[in-house]
Amino acid sequence: MRQADAHRSPDPAPEYRRPADWPEVDLVDTDVHITPPSIEALFPYLPQRWRDYVRESGVRSLESDLYPPGSPLSAIPGSVPAHGGPPGSDPDLLRTQLLDPWGTTVAVTNCVYGVDGIHNPDWAVAMARAVNDWQRAEWLCEPRLRGSIVVAGQDPERAAAEVERLGGLDEFVQVLMPVRSRTPLGQRHYWPIYEAAERHGLALGVHAGGAGGNPMSPVGSPSYYLEEYVLLAQAFQAQLISLVSEGVLVRFPELRVVLIEGGFSWLPPLMWRFDKNWKGLRREIPWVDRLPSEIIRESVRFTAQPLDAPADARRLLQVVEQLGSDRMLLFSTDYPHRQFDDPACSAPHGLAGDALVGFLGRNALDVYRLDEE
Ligand code: ZN
């Protein structure tokens, strides 16, 4: 089966645009996926040594298989470029299918490209650099797009150097790491990355997926993709607990962490449990000098797609109120992946006033410092 056929959905293109009853305010889409049309598309940005290595090794792609081709979650209809290639690989299609009909002010792009799964650290560093230079040359010239710096987390020192190389450019607003990392993201060997990100005013984006090599669940490997997808929330919870407990968010107070595509409906009870146990065990981590929930509200943000809305959608608003802050949720579509049939379901039902304005764009403009440009 050709790659384009594998991704193709037989459905007609649905109505996929900004809902008419949303206020005319800035709309910032905090999770838009872009991917190289082929591994050869990265060759102009790779040194000759690594071009030869890819050819001689027979590597065909590092594209994420987070969404199995043909799965209903994979991609919205019509997102496969007419000339072939995977969804999210054509800048013109992104403009006509997403940015124009949604009236997007800014979209933050995430290229989830499997660099973290490479065991050869030199190759991983070269691929991360190539992906970043490819993004910059071929996508980020679109003024509505801002990019995320892909890093090889398996080599934190050189990952930090990559953040240094690109962090001063306006095109990039975030450092991107996968939620399924080799070790918990709070641990100190990662801190050079966070130091560089904070210095350049970049957020740390942690996105669903990753090939860190650990089982998908704390009790071993599950049997089904459904289990894996639901279990992603546990990985986000583990990373959040690590980032707070290790003191990252105290040590780097200007750093903002954005948890992308991991949901948020689990957060209020996690904060309750975290606060309660911190009170009893805080001597173990004396650098965490205030309630974990306070630190989370200050420093962590959550993209809202996919929305874990119950059958009675009004109940989700109760969860939003339990967060205790209007600043934590960020609008996202997760384009080109399909998580909702009706665009109205891309915002918590009943959100209104300042909370809605913050959700649609204001919160993201703050966290990505887009008003300062
Ligand atoms: Zn996503």
Q: For the domain that residue 163 is a member of, what is the CATH number?
A: 3.20.20.140
Examine residue 70 and state whether it is found in any structural domain, yes or no: yes
Q: Could you tell me if 74 and 128 are in contact, meaning their C-beta atoms sit under 8 angstroms apart? A: no
Q: Could you tell me if 268 and 323 are in contact, meaning their C-beta atoms sit under 8 angstroms apart? A: yes
| CA 135 to ligand 1 centroid distance, Å | 16
Distance CA(273)–CA(294), nearest Å, equals 13
Q: What is the pLDDT of residues 314-353, one digit of tens each?
A: 899 999 999 999 999 999 999 998 777 677 788 999 999 9
Pull the structure tokens for residue 64: 């994420």
Q: With bands split at pLDDT 50, 70 and 90, how would you rate the model's confidence at 16?
A: confident
Q: What is the pLDDT of residues 296-318, one digit of tens each?
A: 999 999 999 888 888 888 899 99
| CA 31 to ligand 1 centroid distance, Å | 5
Contacts of 117 (CB under 8 A, 6+ apart): 62, 210, 211
| CA 206 to ligand 1 centroid distance, Å | 10
| Predicted pLDDT of residue 9 | 44
**What is the rounded average pLDDT of the residues 191-202?**
98
| Predicted pLDDT of residue 342 | 77
Examine residue 16 and state whether it is found in any structural domain, yes or no: no
Examine residue 21 and state whether it is found in any structural domain, yes or no: no
Examine residue 51 and state whether it is found in any structural domain, yes or no: yes
Distances (CA, A) of 1 to 7, 72, 84: 10, 18, 13
Contacts of 305 (CB under 8 A, 6+ apart): 31, 261, 331, 332, 333, 334, 339, 340, 346
| CA 66 to ligand 1 centroid distance, Å | 10
Closest C-alpha to 334, from 130, 8, 79: 79
pTM more than 0.85 = yes
pLDDT at 71 over 70: no
Examine residue 20 and state whether it is found in any structural domain, yes or no: no
Number of separate domains in the chain: 1
Domain boundaries, position 151: 3-11+30-372
Name the strands in the sheet holding 28-33, side by side, starting at the edge strand that comes first in the sequence. 28-33, 106-110, 145-150, 172-178, 203-207, 257-260, 300-303, 329-330
Pull the structure tokens for residue 37: 């049309």
Examine residue 53 and state whether it is found in any structural domain, yes or no: yes
| CA 118 to ligand 1 centroid distance, Å | 21
Examine residue 23 and state whether it is found in any structural domain, yes or no: no
Examine residue 363 and state whether it is found in any structural domain, yes or no: yes
pLDDT at 76 over 90: no
| CA 268 to ligand 1 centroid distance, Å | 22
| CA 303 to ligand 1 centroid distance, Å | 9
| CA 292 to ligand 1 centroid distance, Å | 26
